[in-house]
Amino acid sequence: MSEENTPLFQIQRVYLKEASLEQPNSPAILLEQQQPAVDIQLGVEANQAAEGVYEICVTATVHTKIEDKTVFLVECKQAGIFEIRNVPEDQMGSIMGIACPQIVYPYLRGNIADIVTRAGFPPVHLAEINFQAMYEQQQAQLAEQAAAAAPQVQ
């Protein structure tokens, strides 16, 4: 196998792309004694930045509420730039949907915990994520949608 055809996977950079914190009901909500409900949403997106270079973003939204009032809302997008070359096309999806997010996610977890702590709350520690199961579930949903959209032959 020649040098030009050798598979290449390199991390170019991991960075915090976007972060926001909202505490719309402070300071009154901070005096509440009951435990807030916590809702956490995660997402992964991949975009080609240049030939053989991809940006993978993992986004988390942490929304805490007491009854119908927001305690705090944190949205954070952690990104990584990866150089991926000479990899078979059928493997690219799993690399960008599993391997890259697994590298980026620990940074996202740390940034979320830090932002929440700096806001004066106990840290929110995001659970470990099985990106392979998440990717396989997304692929199954896409296959179902494609099957549902295909014309039915009688």
Query: Looking at the domain assignment, is residue 79 inside a domain?
Result: yes
Q: Is residue 151 part of a domain?
A: no
**Is residue 54 in some structural domain?**
yes
The pLDDT value recorded for residue 142 is 84
CATH code of residue 118: 3.10.420.10
Decide if 152 is inside a domain: no
Is residue 2 predicted with pLDDT exceeding 60?
Answer: no
Number of domains in the chain: 1
> 108-133 pLDDT, tens per residue?
999 999 999 999 888 888 999 999 99
Does residue 150 belong to any structural domain of this protein? no
Contact 42, 78 (CB under 8 A): no
Q: How confident is the model at residue 139 (pLDDT cuts 50, 70, 90)?
A: confident
CA 119 to chain centre: 22
Structural domain range at position 131:
3-140
Find the mean pLDDT for residues 121-150: 87
**Exposed, middle or buried, 79 (CB in 10 Å: 0-12/13-18/19+)?**
buried
Q: Does the structure show a pLDDT above 90 at 42?
A: yes
Residue 154 lies in a domain: no
Does residue 149 fall inside a structural domain? no
Does the pLDDT of residue 151 top 80, yes or no?
Answer: no
Structural domain contains residue 147: no
Q: How far apart are the first and last CA of the chain?
A: 49
